[in-house]
Chains A and B, each alone.
Chain A
């Protein structure tokens, strides 16, 4: 019995090694971003320990990606409702039992502490894709309503934690699946209009610090040493970088601790200061390539579920880049969204790479192959 299991495991490992069936351009781009991330972290954190830590998480994430890439999309689809229900349950448990620095985000599982909201970044587009998979497309208002409720409930829970960044990403991943399903443009317009109309209500439910962030975004100079500090110092870091940057490890803003959160949410500002505009554009191009490649994989997928899931994952990757980049340049309010695969932090790296594992699986099971 045990021998049989061991044998099967060995076979699986050999198969994994010999035929990874990974999309090499996508993997290459991801590895490139990770390398850039570790380089930037070394400068921003000023110590090797931070880099090794992050490297270990990358390896964990890559192994997870490799494992998930072996799971066929069909199997994933069957599991989808259960995975979604599980993650929402965890989210509810977090709301009751969770702990964290001032925010109820973390669930302590003794072995690891993790944020259930991260799970939803993956299970949300899966769930939306699962629903739309069986529906004729483009979806009608009823389908849209169902999907809308499925998105809004967990998003509201996450936003209340409060974790505006993750809530935004989860909402976006669900919404993108809906968008890719072929939702009519005028319906999109109607939905966006409704969201706009609901914004004042959302403002009412926002935490004070979240309101402050929005106010500070409007006018950072009002409180330069308090709430406006992040934005001002970040803009200084970016602007001082110029076209060519100050050079690796020569950014004064982060090294001298003017820039807060310079290894996590504001690591892009460090990158901007040290590497300059040209390399920012290159980094953005790599991100764009990753997104494009995801959409390409999605377009080649064999069924609706795979298509929507792959496309939604690729497009939510864009949200990371846009929100983080907009934040550090003062284009968007301060929302805690990391720069994908560059910001220090295990949870987001692992969950992002898991998502790419799903993409790899979809790629491996694309229709052209069979």
Chain B
């Protein structure tokens, strides 16, 4: 622009011209600088006005972290308010790695004051890898009073080590409710996935459980996990670039989980469990009117408290390898042949399906033959019971009557009717892991073994043998349905919920009633009379059991061999002690017979006879039940 400049002819300096030249350059420079600073200023405008909101969000995302606060887990009570699961204050040792110079030396020195197991140290080392070095990591849980005191004295030696109070789950009734209430334990990946698939509308499961360390693994704790868990609160925490929390900006309190009241009556549960005296087996008591489970017992059992903070390897393997499999919930998953307890149902099927009238009789001669086949099917009495109708057949448990009836009905018709009582399918109780049993039929055998059905299998199915498998719960539920004159109710354990201590109990919505499976009341009368006779008749299989009991009881015994009865050795070695090795004793009953308020099934492994071994357990349960019946219920209750 100004290249013309001074003429080149002279190399002399022209001061005035140079001053002018400089002035122009200075002005040009100033204008350029101003322009540049305007560009810079517009960049500020762009960042601070145009993209302001975006950067505010980013800055907040930088320093604000939501820290979840775990809600207090709901408590679990029995129907009368007896505490079954609570949260107990406990103390644990936590270590902040950042403040420890020499970790192995610290662990060794600390171990001398408070015993540390290998499990503790392993868990601690694993957790260290997953956390940042200024985060506190738990090392040892559930300090005893003694350990607490010893650490307090030595505390000055361990900078970076803290005793922290926390809440731990505690099951005051221990093993007695181990199978029903279940237990909580540390969350793992699978748990969250299972919760996820249960589908919570719109609620991010991972967010709900962000602050939670424990989750229900079995029993009620698992089934009602969502109710018990509650909703987490949050702390809005200001953090620095390292992620270290500096202070709390905002806080919303967690919403504690709901307290649950179970239908179980701990007094019945207790007497049921103790009546087994440690012998393996299971018993279930149900209120037939509504399906409320009053007792749900599986023996042997285990102490759920062992699992809460991670069960030690030694404890766990001893539970796993115990011959009586204490971890198996026999009441829900035990697989037993029902034996003679199936007879009232088979008899009912005969009446309802029109193959028999209550008056029809069958001649028992001690052995039953399918026409044209050589194999004999025996009665309990070698010379036979003589001519019996349905009532006597049930009272005396006459096999021949039911052999013939099953043969007449055919397996498929029989299975079709008995399926309505819930055999062959889970009852739908609100507990996880229920077994379905086996309701034998032609179709079932084809699907399972791909084999044809034999007539002999129909015959033994008539007395609850062969392929039959029931769970104690299934049996109790079926007896309960029978007692309730065919009106099915789904068994359940949740009675009521409660928002918090001192709040009102809110009754849980019971499962809807099921189908009515008995069409003719006369049919029911005949079967019930037979079951009544089993306890009160001269030759009833459980005669004498009801002595002194104020209500009429209807029941049925069952004795099942683990092996089939094909040799004569059975009679040669028939002492009770010998039999106990191969028998299972069963007993089902309901009372008051006309309008039952409790139905029970008892299955005792390794016992000689249903009447002499299983039935007394039921009687003990009934006595306690009776003793606790409020008079009001008796008068206002359903009496015929």
Contact = CB atoms under 8 A, between A and B. Distances in A.
Interface string B425-442: 000000000000000000
Interface stretch (B14-22, B259-267, B569-577): B14-22
Contacts of A280: 41, 44, 48
A118 to B, nearest CB: 23
A184 B5 CA distance: 8
A182 to B, nearest CB: 4
A236 B59 contact: yes
Contacts of A308: 22
Contacts, number: 161
A256 B63 contact: yes
A42 interface: no
B318 interface: no
Nearest to A281: B41
B48 A257 contact: no
Contact of B48 (A256, A277, A299, A315): A277
Interface stretch (A191-199, A283-291, A345-353): A283-291
A184 B2 contact: yes
Contacts of B455: none
Contact of A235 (B10, B47, B240): B47
B29 A137 contact: no
B105 to A, nearest CB: 31
Contact of A288 (B14, B37, B52): B37
Contact of B62 (A135, A236, A329): A236
Nearest to B17: A137
B22 A256 contact: no
Nearest to A329: B43
Which interface residue of A256, A276, A329 has the most chain B CB atoms within 10 A? Answer: A256
Contacts of A240: 52, 55-56, 58-59
B520 interface: no
Contact of A237 (B12, B24, B59): B59
A322 interface: yes
Interface in A312-327: 315, 318, 321-322, 325-326
A227 interface: no
Contacts of B40: 284, 321-322, 325-326, 329, 331
B51 to A, nearest CB: 5
A291 B27 CA distance: 11
Contacts of B52: 239-240, 242-243
A186 interface: yes
Contacts of A233: 62
Given A236-B55, A242-B52, A256-B63, A180 B25 contact: yes
A228 B591 CA distance: 79
A307 to B, nearest CB: 5
Interface in B38-69: 39-41, 43-45, 47-49, 51-52, 54-56, 58-59, 62-63
B126 interface: no
Nearest to B48: A277
A205 B5 CA distance: 38
A86 interface: no
A303 B19 CA distance: 8
A162 interface: no
Contacts of A236: 55, 58-59, 62
Contacts of B45: 277
A248 interface: no
Interface residues of A, number: 55
A218 B17 CA distance: 45
B242 interface: yes
Contact of A277 (B2, B34, B44, B241): B44
B238 A291 contact: no
B59 A185 contact: no
B622 to A, nearest CB: 70
B5 A185 contact: no
A288 B55 contact: no
Given A239-B48, A240-B59, A277-B45, A295 B54 contact: no
A238 interface: yes
A327 to B, nearest CB: 11
B8 to A, nearest CB: 8
A304 interface: yes
A272 interface: yes
B55 A239 contact: yes
Given A322-B36, A331-B43, A295 B26 contact: yes
B55 A138 contact: no
B239 interface: yes
A242 B239 contact: no
Given A329-B43, A329-B44, A253 B62 contact: yes
A356 interface: no
Contacts of B25: 179-182, 311
Interface string A321-341: 110011001110000000000
Contact of A239 (B1, B26, B47): B47
Nearest to A321: B37
Contact of B33 (A235, A257, A315): A315
A176 interface: yes
Nearest to A303: B15
B13 interface: yes
Contacts of A239: 47-48, 51-52, 54-56, 58-59
A88 to B, nearest CB: 27
Given A138-B6, A180-B25, A280-B41, 11 more contacts: A134-B13, A181-B21, A181-B25, A182-B24, A235-B47, A239-B56, A241-B48, A253-B59, A256-B239, A258-B62, A291-B33
Nearest 4 interchain pairs by C-beta:
A239-B55, A182-B21, A240-B59, A256-B240
Interface of A: 134-138, 176, 179-182, 184-186, 233, 235-243, 252-253, 256-258, 272, 276-277, 280-281, 284, 287-288, 291-292, 295, 298-299, 303-304, 307-308, 311, 315, 318, 321-322, 325-326, 329-331
18 contacts: A181-B22, A181-B25, A182-B22, A184-B2, A233-B62, A235-B55, A239-B47, A240-B59, A252-B63, A277-B48, A288-B33, A291-B30, A304-B13, A311-B25, A326-B43, A329-B44, A329-B47, A330-B43
Interface of B: 1-3, 5-6, 10-15, 18-19, 21-26, 29-30, 33-34, 36-37, 39-41, 43-45, 47-49, 51-52, 54-56, 58-59, 62-63, 238-242, 246
